[in-house]
Amino acid sequence: MRLPAFFRKCLVLVALLGLVAGCTTMTPPEQVLAVPATPGKYAAIVVDARTGKQLFEVNSTAQRYPASLTKMMTLYLVFEAMDAGRIARDTQLPVSAHAASQPPTKMRLKPGETIDVDTAIRALAVKSANDVAVVVAEYLGGSEEGFAAAMTAKARQIGMRDTVFRNASGLPDDGQHTTARDMAVLGMALRQRFPHHYHYFSDGDFMFRGKLVRGHNDMLGRVRGVDGIKTGYIRASGFNIVTSYDADGRRLVVVVMGADSARQRNAHAEALLQRALTGSPGNARVVFADQPL
């Protein structure tokens, strides 16, 4: 039986409305992210630091070398020691021959000298000084090896499941590894546990013996809302960064590991930050710089 024209039009309209409704519930289209990094080194994660919700991730639980992101945990234990009264900002830390012998980047301290805790913190957070990392480790842990064991134990305590520390600086060691997820956990823990010390990560430079020492974190002062936290590089890791954003009621942590250069690392971290802030929908497919889109 042929339906009257009016009813046929109603059925078509209902079908079209159903199609539109179905389209609004479809999975958003995949996004393509061109990543300036080497396969096998790249990992990234974006986390809402207020809720702990993961907003983006690629290879976030794959083992990676932390490089100087290691010093975030070194500083965690320094802040803990300060709050426990074991050291104060003006405590003088002795420099051993082993500490002075560390390769750059460093403050070029000499054996027998001392450095106060406040300056040591700035040297770690801003300059990423390897000699100062050993100075701190030897003072607080008795030896760098003992301090590294304490770092690993603290990592487990705060929820870093896949991290092992072998030294306090992040210099190359095949046994030292972490994940992007664990670095995000550490970045959030530093702010939550030590808000009164967190300002050190926002410093872009500091004075040392009458000279201005500039830092490596070019995201500071360049990207609105970014207030820290740490960069890192060794050849085995590529260029790493943990970035904290705090503005307009949003608080995010972005981790990028394995970029091919500092500039590319920063640009990718900024792109991931903007993606999270704008609420860009859809999954992301990573395409490495030397691969076709």
Spot the catalytic one: 96, 106, 127, 128. 128
- The crossing angle, in degrees rounded to 10, of helices 70-83 and 130-141 is 40
Catalytic residue status for 202: no
Q: Supply the DSSP string of 18-63, one letter for each residue.
A: HHHHHHHTSPPPPEEEEE-B-TTT-EEEEEETTT--EEEEESTTS-
Pairing of strands 205-208, 54-58: unpaired
The number of C-alpha atoms within 13 Å of 250 and in the hemisphere containing its C-beta is 20
Contact 258, 265 (CB under 8 A): no
Query: At residue 222, what are phi and psi to the nearest 5 degrees?
Result: -105, -35
CA distance 189 to 111: 34
Contact 179, 62 (CB under 8 A): yes
Spot the catalytic one: 41, 60, 68, 154. 68
Sign of the dihedral defined by the CA atoms of residues 263, 267, 269, 270, in that order: positive
CA distance 126 to 140: 21
CB atoms within 10 A of CB 60: 21
Catalytic residue status for 261: no
CA distance 288 to 34: 6
Residue 283, SS3 per DSSP: coil
Contact 185, 160 (CB under 8 A): yes
Residue 158, SS3 per DSSP: coil
Catalytic residue status for 68: yes
Spot the catalytic one: 41, 60, 71, 106. 71
Report, as residue numbers or ranges, the catalytic residues: 68, 71, 128
